[in-house]
Structure 1
Amino acid sequence: MMTELSLSDKIAVHASRLGPSGLSPFAPGTVGSAVAVLLAPIFFMPLPMWMRIAFIAVLFFWGSIQITRAEKILGSKDPGEIVLDELVGQWITILPFAALSFWWMVIAFFLFRVFDIAKPYPIRDSEKWLERGWGVMIDDVLAGLYAMVCLGVLRFLFA
């Protein structure tokens, strides 16, 4: 990483890493998802549905720009330390649910991680649909949608 960064460069890297989450020496994507789950009851779940949707849309667009910038600064395409996309995907997983108990949040976490890691069709291909940070974000959006549907089915069957 370059030694002399502008404030906007520092913000891009810090935001893309989701603070220190992306610097985890073990499974930074999983750590980023865990942070997203921990932050959701405070910053996401209390919002009305329209604000949740708007918040995710803003995070997607702003985050894609920040990730694009961070990739350039870090000198790597989608480095593991970039985990802002995990926050977006994890929050998409829980988007339609008014409230989730601790155990349903744990299930949401694991479902998202399974789809984000396994990348079933077309998730893996989606990384190539868009360039730079946009491609980094889109696969987590799709993984979040897959996990959301599965979580909805599980809640319908077992809640």
Structure 2
Amino acid sequence: MKLFTQDKFVKKLSLANPVHFLALGFGSGKAAKAPGTFGTLAAVPLVLLMQQLSLTHYLIITCISMLAGFYICGKAAQDMGVHDHGAIVWDEVVGLMITMIAAPLGFMWLALGFVLFRFFDIVKPWPIRWLDAKVHGGFGIMIDDVLAGVFSLIGVQLAVYYL
């Protein structure tokens, strides 16, 4: 059983390159199966660390990560020669960051955010699916996951309010 993909496009990226390292979600995007899920899992420790910060600092880091992601994902896709290859998972990392904005601490909330984000990222309800199909480049790679993160954020915050 292969743990890491042997994909010819992924081989064009190097974990020694900081842009590629981030695009591959600290290496998690090289998973042979479900790289998006592994990319989201790779975001968990980062989110746990960020949750110790003030909301202002959390938002600043999330915004910088998102804006940098437009370049990071676009550059990795260009270097691979493929638009939105599955191994590019920085968008999933940022999506979970967005999902967990102002979420309470605790495993239950993190698990709920994780499940909601994966749901919206995989199912891609409108307008996420439309953006995924119509918008290209680094912005296009990021925007569907940003919106999935926003949908998930709303879901988490509704659960917090009602529970």
Aligning the two structures, in what range does the TM-score lie when normalised by the shorter sequence?
0.7 to 0.9
Q: 1:26: which partner in 2?
A: 33
Aligned equivalents of 2:10, 2:30: Cα separation in 1: 17
Give TM-score, length-normalised by structure 2.
0.86
- The superposition leaves residues 94-114 of structure 1 with CA deviations (integer Å, 9 ceiling, x where unpaired) of 1022x3211211111000000
Give the 3 Å change call, closer, same or farther, for CA 157–77 of structure 1 in structure 2.
Answer: same
2:65 to 41, 44, 59: 59
- Evaluate the alpha carbon distance shift between residue 24 and residue 132 of structure 1 in structure 2; reply closer, same or farther with a 3 A threshold: same
Structure 1 residue ranges, 4+ long, deviating more than 6 angstroms after superposition: 2-7
Equivalent-residue separation in structure 1 for 2:14 and 2:32 (angstroms)? 26
Aligned equivalent of 2:119, options 114, 121, 125: 114
Aligned mates of 1:59, 1:102 — CA distance in 2: 23
Structure 1 residue aligned with 2:94, among 88, 96, 112? 88
Quick check: 2:83–2:136 contact (8 Å CA) kept in 1?
no
Structure 1 runs not aligned, ≥5 long: none
Q: For each residue in 1:48-80, what CA deviation from the matched residue of structure 2 results, as whole angstroms up to 9, or x when unmatched?
A: 112222111111111110111111111111001
Q: Answer yes or no: is the 8 Å Cα contact 2:29–2:35 preserved in 1.
A: yes
* Residue of structure 2 equivalent to 1:103: 108
For residues 139 and 37 of structure 1, the distance between their equivalents in structure 2, rounded to whole angstroms, comes to 20
Q: Is the 8 A contact 2:14 2:21 kept in 1?
A: no
The offset of 1:156, in angstroms, is: 1.8
User: How many Å separate the matches in 1 of 2:46 and 2:68?
Assistant: 19
User: TM-score with structure 1 length normalisation?
Assistant: 0.88
CA distance in 1, matches of 2:55, 2:86: 31
Identity over aligned residues, as a percent? Answer: 34
